[in-house]
Amino acid sequence: MALVRTDPFRDVDRLFQQLLGGQNTTRSMAMPMDAYRKRDSFLISVDLPGVKPDSVDLTVEENVLTIKGERPAPPVADDVESVIAERPYGTFMRQVFLGTNLDTEHIRAEYDDGVLTLVIPVADHAKPRRIEVSTNSRPEPLSA
């Protein structure tokens, strides 16, 4: 039984990858991401399948969150010929611009089953607050 591919663009991309350096070529890894707000925090979930938690590097500089890491390619023996190579390997980096209404000093990061979840709290100064309305027992006249 033969494996038949019907996507000519993927075949052309694979051909270029093979011509430019064989199967061990380092390619930039895709990092699908979701972001949403939950009460007083923003949550960012990033898919990093096959990435070890100790290879992930998170930094924040001037409200720019940078996610870096690496997924090494598996070792391939010289006598092995790749038939399909679609899984991304190599280094990756993604930057997320954070608003000034977020507390970048208290970001939490959790890694579970290949998903990196960042919890970024809303800064206290950006949280809604109630303002008391007071009444004067003797209002001042509007005109003097």
β-pair type (41-47, 33-38): antiparallel
- C-alpha span between 126 and 93 (Å, rounded): 29
Residue 4 confidence (pLDDT)? 45
User: Is there a domain that residue 130 lies in?
Assistant: no
User: Is there a domain that residue 40 lies in?
Assistant: yes
User: Is there a domain that residue 132 lies in?
Assistant: no
Whether the per-residue pLDDT at 10 is higher than 50: the answer is yes
Whether the per-residue pLDDT at 36 is higher than 90: the answer is yes
- CATH number, position 111: 2.60.40.790
Residue 18 is inside which H or E element, if any? helix 8-19
Residue 107 domain boundaries: 26-76+83-124
- C-alpha span between 61 and 7 (Å, rounded): 41
User: Is there a domain that residue 133 lies in?
Assistant: no
pTM of the model: 0.66
User: Is there a domain that residue 143 lies in?
Assistant: no
**How many domains does the chain contain in total?**
1
**DSSP letter assigned to residue 61:** E
CB within 8 Å of 65: residues ≥ 6 apart? 58, 59, 95, 96, 97, 98, 104, 107, 118
Residue 5 confidence (pLDDT)? 43
The string of pLDDT tens digits covering residues 88-144 is 888 888 999 998 899 999 999 999 999 999 999 998 887 788 888 888 777 677 776
